[in-house]
Amino acid sequence: MSDANPARFITLEGGEGAGKSTQARRLSEALHARGIENIVTREPGGSPGAEDIRKLLVEGEPGRWTPEIETLLMFAARVDHVARTIRPALESGAWVICDRFTDSTYAYQGAARGADADFIRRIEEATIGDFRTDLTLILDVPVEEAFGRIESRAHAENRFEKFDCAFHERLRQYFRQLAQRESERCVLIDSRGETERVSQQIWRAVASRFNL
């Protein structure tokens, strides 16, 4: 990796059905096409230990865990993910594209489920310290459209999709407010409609931020 394009840590955030996984792959392909080495990873998960913890979080019924227990599990997975996947990739010069990161904990366990933000912040400081993203792309889609997307899915990892509409609306509003509050780090992406149009918005945001 040249000094002109040092390794970057990019995250994609948003509620269920926003298209993060698809857009993470497409962004990776666009970077590879320009000779920029990168990896795509996800949370919870992204390393063997974190993937084991993921199963506890994304399978089962909504009431399986309290928001505080979820927060502790999320950060347990995150510590392993950062140590075993994200930091080594960045140190090798590869860019990292991650489907969700710490913002999702403040959104899901905090704003949507009621865990105290200070509680989350203390755990964050104790586990990953000041480790932050270089750019966060927040994919925004109305809840009713997101529900239309997730209803077509058939998979075991649907615990968060089972929460009610009010939960998903709280998620959306938190992420939209985050984009306004931290506009230097975050870019709000309208993820309605065609996949290619969304990809173009994302590429413009990445290329502009990192002078590509």
Average pLDDT in the chain: 92
Residue 4 lies in a domain: no
What pLDDT shows up at residue 1?
43
**pLDDT score, position 153:** 59
Q: What is the pTM of this model?
A: 0.92
The answer to the question of residue 49 being in a domain is: yes
205, pLDDT greater than 90? yes
Residues spanned by the domain of 144: 9-210
pLDDT of residue 152 exceeding 80? no
Question: Rg of the chain's alpha carbons, rounded to an integer?
Answer: 16
In a domain, 2, yes or no: no
H helix intervals, the chain: 20-33, 48-58, 67-81, 87-91, 102-104, 117-127, 143-150, 165-181, 195-210
Question: Is there a domain that residue 85 lies in?
Answer: yes
Q: Closest by alpha carbon to 90, among 32, 42, 131?
A: 131
Short-list 4, 14, 18, 7, CA closest to 147: 18
In a domain, 1, yes or no: no
Within a domain: 203: yes
Rounded Cα–Cα distance for residues 181 and 34 (Å): 32
CATH number at residue 151: 3.40.50.300
- How many domains is the chain built from? 1
Report yes or no on 86 lying in a domain: yes
CA distances from 12 to 118, 166, 178, 189, 204 (A): 23, 22, 13, 10, 15
Q: Could you report the per-residue pLDDT of 100-145, keeping only the tens digit for each?
A: 999 999 999 999 999 999 999 999 999 999 999 999 999 999 888 8
Contacts of 66 (CB under 8 A, 6+ apart): none
Dihedral sign, Cα of residue 136, residue 139, residue 142, residue 145: negative
The whole-number pLDDT of residue 4 equals 60
